[in-house]
C-alpha cells in the first residue's frame, strides 16, 4: 500500500506485548502499512502515567478512530474501573462482534461457524450498583440496576441485521429472557420484532430463543444456530461458551464498533502466569487483526491471514501448547509468516 493507515496500538499487559509482536509480524508479511501510534494502558498505563487508561491513549484513538489492543489487566483495589469498559463508554462502542469458527477439524464440535453480536454499553454492565446497610452490616443488601434503552437496542439490532445479511448469513437468533425480565430484556425483544417486521422480513430468518435454552442448545447442537444477537451480560456469557466449542479463548477475536471508532482485541485475559515464557497463542489477536483489515476494506489481506492461520494449523501441523502442539509463540509466528509469504 502506498498510504499508511493511522491506527493506535496498545500492547497491553502480561502476554499482550508477545502476541502483539506476533500479530505485527503477520501484518508486515501481508505488506499492510499501518502508521502505528503506540500507547500504554492497563497496568502498563499505571506505571507510565498513573492511570490504567491514560489520556494520551484516549487522545490517540480520538485521532485515529482505529485501535488494535492486547489484553488489559484491571488492578485489584484502588477503585479502578475496567479499562475495557471505560474504552467502550468513551467511544460509544455499542456493538461487540464475536465470530466463532472451527480452525482445527476433528474435535467434538466440527464445522462451527457462529457470529455473535452483543450490545456493549447497556444492560447489567452499566455499573449502577450499591449496598444497603442492615443490622449493623454496611453491605447487607447488594442492588444492581440494569438499563436497556429502546434506542440502544435498536442501534445494536440494526447493526446485527445489516451485517448478517451483508455476510450472507441465513438466520439470526434474538436471545433474551423476556419471560422473566419482562421490561429489561422485553424492550430488546420488542424492538427486534418491530425492526424485523418493518425492514428485514424476507431478507433473513429471525428466531427467538430464551437465553438459558440457548446455552443448552449451543452445547447440544450448535449447528442449529447461525448468527446470534443479544444484550450485554448474555452476550458476554454466550460468546465465551461459543469460544469453548472451538478450542477456547485463545481462538476468540473480538471487535468493538462505535460510530466514530473501532477497537479490535483478543478476548482472552493477560495470562500473567505465562507472560514472558514465549508460549502464548497469538491466534486470537491475529484473527482480531483480520477483522480490523476487513473493517478498513482490506478484504483480500484479511482472507489471506485467515487462510494462513488455517494452513499453519492443518497443513503444517504447527500449533501452540494450548492446542496440543509443541510450538512456542515465535515458532508458530515464523511458520505463519512463511505461509503468508509463500502465498497461502
Mean of the pLDDT values across residues 175-192?
97
**Grid cell listed for 177:** 429472557
**Grid cell listed for 125:** 454492565
Nearest Cα residue to 38 out of 22, 27, 24: 24
Is pLDDT at 33 greater than 60 in this prediction?
Answer: yes
Tens of pLDDT along 232-242?
999 999 999 99
Is pLDDT at 188 greater than 60 in this prediction?
Answer: yes
Which segments of the chain belong to CATH 3.40.718.10?
1-91+260-344, 102-113+121-248
Cell match 430488546: residue? 188
Kindly report which listed range (1-10, 58-67, 70-79, 289-298) carries the lowest average pLDDT score.
Answer: 70-79
CA 231 to chain centre: 14
What confidence score (pLDDT) does residue 333 get? 97
pLDDT tier for residue 74 given thresholds of 50, 70 and 90: confident
pLDDT tier for residue 343 given thresholds of 50, 70 and 90: confident
- List CB contacts of 232: < 8 A, sequence separation 6 or more: 118, 119, 120, 121, 122, 123, 124, 125
Is pLDDT at 2 greater than 60 in this prediction?
Answer: no
Q: Where are the beta strands (DSSP E) in 196-280?
A: 205-210, 227-230, 253-257, 262-266
- The CATH class of the 1-91+260-344 domain is alpha beta
Q: Are 172 and 226 in contact (CB under 8 A)?
A: yes
Measure the CA–CA gap between 193 and 189, rounded to whole angstroms: 6
- The share of the chain scoring above pLDDT 90, in percent, equals 85
What confidence score (pLDDT) does residue 1 get? 43
Dihedral sign for Cα atoms in the order 209, 215, 221, 223:
positive
Q: Can you tell me whether residue 10 is helix, strand or coil?
A: strand
What's the start-to-end Cα distance of the chain, in Å? 19
Mean of the pLDDT values across residues 130-134?
95
Dihedral sign for Cα atoms in the order 234, 176, 259, 127:
negative
What confidence score (pLDDT) does residue 79 get? 64
Measure the CA–CA gap between 235 and 125, rounded to whole angstroms: 11
Q: How many helices (H) and strands (E) does the chain have?
A: 11, 12
Is pLDDT at 118 greater than 60 in this prediction?
Answer: yes
Q: Which fold, 102-113+121-248? A: Isopropylmalate Dehydrogenase (3.40.718)
Burial of 64 (0-12, 13-18, 19+ CB in 10 A): buried
Q: Provide the β-strand partners of residue 259.
A: none
Mean of the pLDDT values across residues 116-121?
97
Mean pLDDT of the chain: 94
pLDDT tier for residue 198 given thresholds of 50, 70 and 90: very high
Amino acid at each position: 500500500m502506498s498510504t499508511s493507515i493511522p491506527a493506535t496500538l496498545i500492547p497491553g499487559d502480561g502476554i499482550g506485548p508477545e502476541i502483539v509482536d506476533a500479530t505485527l509480524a503477520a501484518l508486515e508479511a501481508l505488506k499492510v502499512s499501518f502508521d502505528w501510534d503506540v500507547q500504554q494502558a492497563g497496568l502498563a498505563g499505571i506505571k507510565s502515567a498513573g492511570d490504567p487508561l491514560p489520556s494520551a491513549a484516549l487522545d490517540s484513538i480520538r485521532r485515529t478512530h482505529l485501535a488494535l489492543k492486547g489484553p488489559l489487566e484491571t488492578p485489584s483495589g484502588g477503585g479502578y474501573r475496567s479499562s475495557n469498559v471505560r474504552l467502550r463508554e468513551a467511544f460509544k462502542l455499542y456493538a461487540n462482534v464475536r465470530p466463532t469458527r472451527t480452525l482445527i477439524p476433528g474435535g467434538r464440535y466440527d464445522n462451527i461457524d457462529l457470529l455473535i453480536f452483543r450490545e456493549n454499553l447497556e444492560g447489567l454492565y452499566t455499573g449502577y450498583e450499591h449496598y444497603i446497610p442492615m443490622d449493623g452490616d454496611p453491605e447487607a443488601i447488594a442492588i444492581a440496576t440494569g438499563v436497556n434503552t429502546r434506542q440502544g437496542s435498536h442501534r445494536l439490532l440494526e447493526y446485527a441485521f445489516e451485517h448478517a445479511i451483508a455476510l450472507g448469513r441465513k438466520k439470526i437468533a434474538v436471545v433474551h429472557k423476556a419471560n422473566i425480565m419482562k421490561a429489561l430484556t422485553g424492550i430488546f425483544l420488542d424492538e427486534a420484532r418491530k425492526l424485523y417486521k418493518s425492514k428485514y422480513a424476507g431478507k433473513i430468518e429471525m428466531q427467538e430463543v430464551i437465553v438459558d435454552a440457548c446455552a443448552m442448545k449451543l452445547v447440544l447442537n450448535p449447528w442449529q444456530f447461525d448468527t446470534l444477537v443479544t444484550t450485554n451480560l448474555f452476550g458476554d456469557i454466550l460468546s465465551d461458551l461459543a469460544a469453548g466449542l472451538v478450542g477456547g479463548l485463545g481462538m476468540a477475536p473480538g471487535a468493538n464498533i462505535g460510530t466514530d471508532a473501532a477497537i479490535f482485541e483478543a478476548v482472552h485475559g493477560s495470562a500473567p502466569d505465562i507472560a514472558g515464557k514465549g508460549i502464548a497463542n497469538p491466534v486470537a489477536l491475529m484473527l482480531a487483526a483480520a477483522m480490523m483489515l476487513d473493517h478498513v476494506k482490506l478484504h483480500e489481506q484479511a482472507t489471506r491471514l485467515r487462510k494462513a492461520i488455517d494452513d499453519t494449523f492443518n497443513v503444517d501441523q504447527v500449533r501452540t501448547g494450548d492446542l496440543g502442539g509443541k510450538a512456542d509463540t515465535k515458532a508458530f509466528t515464523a511458520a505463519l509468516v512463511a505461509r503468508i509469504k509463500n502465498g497461502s
